Amino acid sequence: MIRDSTPRGMKIPTPDALAAEFEQPIAVVQEVPAGWRCSFGQQRLDGFLCHVDANYWLDRQLVAVIQSSRPVPDSFGVKSEATLSGQLNTFLANSGRSERVTAPSSTSEPEWIAVSLDGDARDAERLSFGECTSARITTDTTSIIVTAPDEVWQTVSDLAYFRPGQNWPPMHWLRPH
């Protein structure tokens, strides 16, 4: 028997509800390999949904994170902008790949890599460390950071947008956390 451990009164939004509240498309892996599972994470600033993470898991091991960010309104005194080194460090720690080592900050001379978004090749700023890579694509309305180990980079650098009401048959959803 499976017991729901969700605290009473806590509402966990569906991926569709998250996408609707985010008001921007959310980047996800175009074709999820067999056995991978996806869960959504979220970060709020004073109730404003500023980041949505698509977290990919294989056998309880975190294998990739794709973060979609939108600008925080000017009325907020604090901004919420993810950095490549911050995302890479978080991934290294959360995936058990690094306990004490931290990725270097981006250099003044950025490296570039191609990432596909809805079938279009996009230039993405890249930061690599410890056989893992983070790359950032900036669009008119969002910033997308893809972070994964190099062995699955080809798979996770082929992205698609998830929009409210859109069905993704290859996805195996877990609930958002």
Q: Tell me how far apart the 2 most distant CA atoms of the chain are, in Å.
A: 55
Residue 158 is predicted with a pLDDT of 96
HSE, side-chain direction, 13 A CA sphere, residue 154: 2
3 state DSSP class of 150: helix
Residue 100 is predicted with a pLDDT of 56
Arithmetic mean of pLDDT, 29-39: 92
Q: In what order do the strands lie in the sheet with 61-69?
A: 26-29, 158-162, 111-117, 120-129, 132-138, 143-149, 61-69, 48-58, 36-45
Residue 65 is predicted with a pLDDT of 96
Closest CA to 147 of 162, 174, 128, 171: 128
What is the distance between the alpha carbons of residues 85 and 82, in angstroms, rounded to a whole number? 9
Residue 159 is predicted with a pLDDT of 95
Instruction: Take residue 108 and report the two structure tokens written for it.
Output: 């003044």
**pLDDT for 12 beyond 90:** no
The predicted-structure confidence for 98-154, as pLDDT tens digits, reads as follows 655 566 665 557 789 999 999 999 999 999 888 899 999 998 888 999 999 999 999
**pLDDT for 48 beyond 60:** yes
Residue 172 is predicted with a pLDDT of 45
Band (pLDDT 50/70/90 cuts) for residue 51 is: very high
Output the average pLDDT for the chain.
82
Tell me the whole-structure pTM to 2 decimals. 0.82
Residue 99 is predicted with a pLDDT of 59
Residue 139 is predicted with a pLDDT of 84
Band (pLDDT 50/70/90 cuts) for residue 25 is: confident
What is the distance between the alpha carbons of residues 106 and 117, in angstroms, rounded to a whole number? 23
3 state DSSP class of 155: helix
Q: What is the 3-state secondary structure (H, E, C) of 5-63?
A: CCCCCCCCCCHHHHHHHHCCCEEEECCCCCCEEEEEEEEEECCEEEEEEEEEEECCEEE
What is the distance between the alpha carbons of residues 39 and 66, in angstroms, rounded to a whole number? 11
CA distances, 165 to each of 17, 31, 176 (Å)? 9, 18, 16
Domain locations in the chain as residue ranges? 15-162
